[in-house]
Amino acid sequence: MRHLRRAALVAAVGSCVVVAPAAAQEHAAPRTERVSVSAGGAQSAAETGDAQLSGDGRFVVLHSMATDLVPGTADPQRRIYVKELRTGKIELVSVASNGTQADGPSWSSSISADGRYVVFDSEATNLAPGRNPGGYGDVFVRDRQTGRTEVLVENKGTQPAHSSSPSISADGRYVAFASNRSDLVPGDTNDTTDVFVRDRLKGTTERVSVTSDGAQGDGFSVSPVISADGSTVGFRSLAQLAPEPPGERAGLRKPQARTFYAHDLRTGRTQLAAQRLDGGPAAVLGAQALSPDGRYALFSSASAGVVAGDTNGKADAFAKDLRTGVTRRLSLAADGSQADGASGDAVLSADSRRVFFTSDATNLVPGDTNGASDVFARDLLTGAVERVSLAHDGSQGNGRSAGPGTDLAGRTLVFTSAADNLVPGDTNAVHDAFVRHLK
């Protein structure tokens, strides 16, 4: 894959939306800031998780049960917030159009490149008309510019079913989500959860957890991710949606869906996104991702035979080129040696040059002695590796860090950490969300 095709010629972003980074000081020293704090900078007493960064690097969307991030949130309930990095302002977005707070917990979220649209799923009954009946969760879209909250796909009240796990394209037009509704597309008779894409401009819905000839799956599909340019959707499934070697059916996907597929919305092709050298599916672990241009599928697997020479017996982070079929291992030290710990959660910058991932390994960089997982950056052009979940003074964290997310430029990184020494005054003893501004 020669440096992911020379880091996609170092500048090719495909049809991905290109936005300016929030901080343009290219030569500024790296710094770390905590973002799960109030507008006044007060730390939260509750844990924060699942933080993501907008493509322009300006906004962070995060989840918290905090009652002290914004005024008027007295009851401890899982909510969705957006933090603006330039001003420090924090906004509750899991609310109705009139500002009424959700009367139920809100979960998975995703943010458009400019931070305008936030999609999330929620069990709340009071966010917008047309939600799923019967107390099931549904997917909502919050327009932060207009203040409008709406159901992604209106339910007429005849389908008590669950919709969840939304992922939005950079321009906010396309939303991938999982649902066990059978009324979203004609011919949905498999009586299980499928993955769909909603075109918010046209108001149409397409099922993507299908074979290349359009046949529906024989098992449930979950955990969708959509590429920033809206061209490709990745998801996990129990179904067999692409050709596999004989004998792959027995035991591979028990007890959970571990086969990672990619569906090209332009061609309709569905292919294995995590694959062994023998052509069989690699069992994936943790989160999966797609490059912003939809060319590369990123995943973690402990399966043997994903790449040649993988002898560390650990889960590694990989990228498969969906055009050529070639897979490359990402979680390596600068000299190419294998990691001595498990790695995953890989995400890629828009130019396909810089990859960020979580690892328990102690041999990726010198001086890694904290005994906890860290977040690393690897330059796929030069091979250089650096640890990026560092304190404001450059020292290593004293607790676990994980869950990296990056802006399109690869200059700003968000992650969560249990460390209490990344910034001064961290005394709340819970996981917080942090942003690292890179060179």
Q: How far apart are CA 196 and CA 178, in angstroms?
A: 6
CB proximity list for 203: less than 8 A, separation 6 or greater: none
What element of type H or E holds 84? Answer: strand 79-84
Predicted pLDDT at 413: 98
Predicted pLDDT at 245: 85
pTM above 0.95, yes or no: no
Predicted pLDDT at 439: 78
Looking up residue 298, the CATH number of its domain turns out to be: 2.120.10.30
Greatest Cα-to-Cα distance within the chain, rounded to the nearest angstrom: 60
3-class DSSP state of 321: strand
Q: What are phi and psi of 3, to 5 degrees?
A: 55, 45
Predicted pLDDT at 358: 99
3-class DSSP state of 262: strand
Q: How far apart are CA 239 and CA 9, in angstroms?
A: 36
Tens digits of per-residue pLDDT, 399-425?
999 999 999 999 999 999 999 999 999
Predicted pLDDT at 8: 43
Q: Is the preceding peptide bond at 166 cis, omega within 30 degrees of 0?
A: no
Question: 34 lies in a domain?
Answer: no
Question: 413 lies in a domain?
Answer: no
Question: 153 lies in a domain?
Answer: yes
Question: 370 lies in a domain?
Answer: no
Exposure on the CB side of residue 316, measured as CA atoms within 13 A: 29
How would DSSP label each residue in 21-81? -S---TTSPPEEEE-SB-TT-PBPSS-EEEEEE-TTSSEEEEEE--SSSSTT--S---EEE
Q: Domain of residue 262: give its range.
A: 2-21+49-362
Question: 293 lies in a domain?
Answer: yes
Query: Are residues 60 and 83 in contact, defined by beta-carbon separation less than 8 angstroms?
Result: yes
What's the domain count of the chain?
1
The tokens describing 64, both together, are: 């918290």
Of the candidates 313, 346, 340, 342, the one whose C-alpha atom is nearest the C-alpha of residue 328 is 346
Question: 400 lies in a domain?
Answer: no
Question: 40 lies in a domain?
Answer: no
Question: 325 lies in a domain?
Answer: yes
3-class DSSP state of 5: helix
Predicted pLDDT at 14: 36
Low-confidence spans in the chain with pLDDT less than 70: 1-27, 134, 157-159, 247-257
Predicted pLDDT at 20: 43
